[in-house]
Amino acid sequence: MSEIKRVNLPYQTSLLSFFSAVRDLPFPALLDSNHEHFPDTNHDILVANPLARIRPSKNNSLITWQKAPLYELQSTQNPMDLLNELMTLICQEPWAISASKDLPFTGGLLGYYSYESGHFVEQLPDTVKHDIQLDPLNMGLYTWAVITSHQEKTTQLIITPWCDETEAIDLIKRFTEMSDKKHTKERQTFSLTAPFTSNMTASDYAKKFATVQEYIQSGDCYQVNLAQRFSSTYQGDTFTAYQALREVCPTPFSAYLEISPEQSLLSHSPERFLLCDQGHVESKPIKGTIARGETPEEDKANSDWLEASEKNRSENLMIVDLLRNDLGRTCLTGSIKVPALFKLESYANVHHLVSTVEGRIDKADQAIRVFHQSFPGGSITGAPKIRSMEIIDELEPHQRSAYCGSIAYFSTNGQMDSSITIRTLVADHGNLHCWAGGGLVADSECEEEYQETFTKVGKLTHTLEHVFLK
């Protein structure tokens, strides 16, 4: 096979049942747009069984091939350099060059970057406690994907020339022989074995808040995103927990990644990091948050207040300027624009202010380079970025892991999309962690910012405690 093959499947309003059909394969991942609530996110993507895994390892081997290597790679020190090199080689394949741009993903790289992957981009201190065993970066090179387009109401199995005939036959059989009963298959058991607790007391947070204010007043920075971590313990199947959270907290960038039987990511993010669609690059940073009201009148008052808030608008504008600078490193000169500022977006538990920054690139393999040069997203660091990240390292007691990193894909046809992994849980060998933070600026109020973290994460923690706590 010298070109990408498409196999039409029955249209799926979600790929949850298809995901269950391939969970026995290594490193399955579901990008789940929850489209009924968010029509602007049109595609769901399902992959499993990558041809290669790219991740840092103790023996300094950055890539592990399932079979004979496709390419001889020169980058051996920095995983982001290796990924850049790999994507350049992939995009030179004749079948990749001719791949249709109407699909978001035609095989390629998919996985996650932790917040600490920023150390592969910049020289940064690392004094926090590392108590989560998740790799700082883990990307798979996938040979096939199931793609649902909700706008077209189609579901297709996309098979690349990398995928051997035996695997292709097995995949077609798995998906075409699925019965309607599997859509209602009983979920596996899951339970929390302890309530969520924070790694900061209110007093701890107040002291750290005061330190940030001192840095701001002395001119070190303009904004710092300070987060606290909430941790619990669990037993059972985290995919069950993901599905329960999906129902009560629908978001456009939901994702479930099963890294190993003991490690998974349950992401319910509302925030896009970077999109690349046929050379058009777009980022949609979130800055400015308020809780939903308990009545329609209170809800409207809250959203009106947020839209008029000078503090939140100025905070948002700082991050827009930071992203304009980040995208300017790699996008075409003169292409950076800001078509939308301070747009209100509403979710199950909060209202947000969202802006849009865009640019252009002219080569397929540049999408991953734009991503790397802009990572991590400025909306979850502060400004200026490097100084803010140094302060975060000083003040936060633990690693952020997947929180404030990204779940991303880089397709053989040059397309790319990625989220900021906020509202995201990390399951790690029986421990379950999630985080919430906010951007602190000169006129921030300590109690208000502290309570905002609970507002952001409450829908996740309260749901899990209410439904699954023994």
| Catalytic annotation, residues | 271, 287
Do the bridges between strand 108-113 and strand 406-411 make them parallel or antiparallel, or are there none, so unpaired?
antiparallel
Helix (H) or strand (E) holding 173: helix 165-176
Helix (H) or strand (E) holding 337: strand 337-346
Helix (H) or strand (E) holding 147: strand 144-149
Going by C-alpha positions, the residue among 225, 289, 290, 286 that lies closest to residue 440 is 225
Q: What is the secondary structure of 401-437 as a DSSP string? A: TTTTSEEEEEETTS-EEEE---SEEEEETTEEEEEEE
Longest CA–CA separation in the chain, Å: 65
Do the bridges between strand 280-283 and strand 350-360 make them parallel or antiparallel, or are there none, so unpaired?
antiparallel
Alpha-carbon distances of 243 from 268, 419, 427, rounded to whole Å: 10, 19, 15
Q: What is the DSSP letter of 332?
A: P
Q: Are 241 and 190 in contact (CB under 8 A)?
A: yes
Phi/psi at 228 (nearest 5 deg)?
-115, 155
**Helical H runs in 218-335?**
238-248, 296-308, 310-328
- Helix 446-468 to helix 238-248 angle (10° resolution) is 120
